[in-house]
Amino acid sequence: MNNSLRLLVLSCVAIVGLTAVGLACQVPVFRYALERWTSDKYQVIVLTAGPLDGSAQANVARLRAAEQQLATNIETQTADISTIHDERLLELWREHQPSSAPLMVVLYPRTAEQVPDRVLEAAELTSESVERLLLSPVRQEVAERLSRGQSSVWIFVPCGDGDKDKLALDTLQQQIEINQKRLTVPTAEELDIEPTRLDNSKIPLRIEFSAVTLDRADPQEAFLLRALGHSEAELPNDEPLAFPVFGRGRVLYGLVGAGIMPETIGMACTFMTGPCSCQVKNQNPGFDLLLSHDWDQAVGDSHLSDPLPDESAEPRLLTIPPGRK
């Protein structure tokens, strides 16, 4: 997706909200997403040729424990290759030969319809590959900052060209600071809640942006780099990239090279801090990162938003009120 199209996507989201009827959700998008949007799950499929040995069983157990105990947004399953009929999985297994060791295939969430290929990674199941999948310093830092109430954390991916990287990172840092000062959160009156509810919230409602740099050469960040780099078609390796992340680790999209500019950064910041025009998660752009983080515990009872009615099966599109800085 080019940078002009990114602007168009956000504009269309706003237009849809403006043309719909209903009461507006004044809670900013980033806060509503933090409170209400459950993380989409990545599929982890372990392909085997016969029974798993002790080491493989331990690795599968670790994956399942991560889902159940560490609140990692994955769903793990094992399958003997003799029972598989999916041609793509069979192809991945054939490419894995002559090794007969279990193969760990990781798929983007089913809801990530915009990714060019749901197969994110196929690697031999080892303790190292499981470690790389579940943990990374950058992902941990992003989750912690978001759960403390930051509006968005931008993941900056340098390309290795010093001049390009410096220009892009300087622009990003300058613009998120400008937008942090420019944008404001709604008042308790605008949110239609008691002021004490806002004052006593465990997570303060504020506008705060930050950036974290991902080192392309860091093996601990290999999975994250691949997840970001393969989330859209033709994201280049020879240009710096910037990905705004909000809510419970939702990546809005990637800005590329010269597209890391005031207009695109400002549009993203405005969208993420603006009123939630469409509360149905998958009617909004983006995809979720794979994170090990207990979001429900982090949010606790700090809800400033109301959930959608349980009986609502269709997208609930809401009008956007008059603009505000």
Domain-ending residue, one of 135, 151, 184: 135
Question: What long-range pairs does 116-119 form, CB within 8 A, spacing at least 24?
Answer: 116/230, 116/232, 116/233, 117/230, 119/88, 119/92
Is the domain of 19 the same as that of 55?
Answer: no
Q: Are strands 250-251 and 241-246 parallel, antiparallel or unpaired?
A: antiparallel
| Domain annotation covers residue 304 | no
Give the dihedral sign, CA 147/149/152/158.
negative
Domain range for 54 is 42-135
DSSP string, 272-314: HHSEESB-SGGGSS-EE---B--HHHHHTT---S-PPPTT--S
CATH of the domain at 109: 3.40.30
- What are 282-305's pLDDT values in tens digits? 777 899 999 999 999 999 988 998
| Domain annotation covers residue 280 | yes
pLDDT for 3 equals 55
Q: Are strands 152-157 and 209-213 parallel, antiparallel or unpaired?
A: parallel
* Structure-block tokens of residue 269: 């910041």
Number of compact structural domains in the chain: 2
Is the domain of 84 the same as that of 187?
Answer: no
**Rounded Cα gap, residues 146 and 251, in angstroms:** 12
Is the domain of 128 the same as that of 240?
Answer: no
Is the domain of 56 the same as that of 80?
Answer: yes
Is the domain of 9 the same as that of 71?
Answer: no
Cβ atoms of residues 256 and 168 within 8 Å: no
pLDDT for 23 equals 45
Neighbour-count burial of 103, counting CB atoms closer than 10 A to its CB (0-12 exposed, 13-18 middle, 19+ buried): buried
* Structure-block tokens of residue 84: 């598989």
- What are 62-78's pLDDT values in tens digits? 999 999 999 999 999 99
Is the domain of 164 the same as that of 127?
Answer: no
| Domain annotation covers residue 107 | yes
Is the domain of 188 the same as that of 230?
Answer: yes
Is the domain of 153 the same as that of 221?
Answer: yes
Residues of the chain with pLDDT under 70: 1-24, 277-280, 309-325
| Domain annotation covers residue 315 | no
| Domain annotation covers residue 128 | yes
Is the domain of 221 the same as that of 98?
Answer: no
Beta bridge partners of 242: 156, 255
| Domain annotation covers residue 131 | yes
Is the domain of 220 the same as that of 294?
Answer: yes
Is the domain of 26 the same as that of 75?
Answer: no
* pTM given for the model: 0.88
**Rounded Cα gap, residues 2 and 9, in angstroms:** 11
DSSP string, 154-216: EEEE--S-HHHHHHHHHHHHHHHHHHHHH--PPPHHHHTS-HHHHHT-SS-----EEEEE--T
Domain-ending residue, one of 135, 159, 181: 135
Which three-class secondary structure state does DSSP give residue 270?
A: helix
The H or E element that residue 120 is part of is: strand 119-124
| Domain annotation covers residue 213 | yes
**Rounded Cα gap, residues 233 and 46, in angstroms:** 26
| Domain annotation covers residue 236 | yes
**Rounded Cα gap, residues 124 and 104, in angstroms:** 6
* Structure-block tokens of residue 12: 């269309």
The label of the residue with tokens 């279990």 reads 102
Is the domain of 120 the same as that of 268?
Answer: no
The H or E element that residue 140 is part of is: helix 137-147
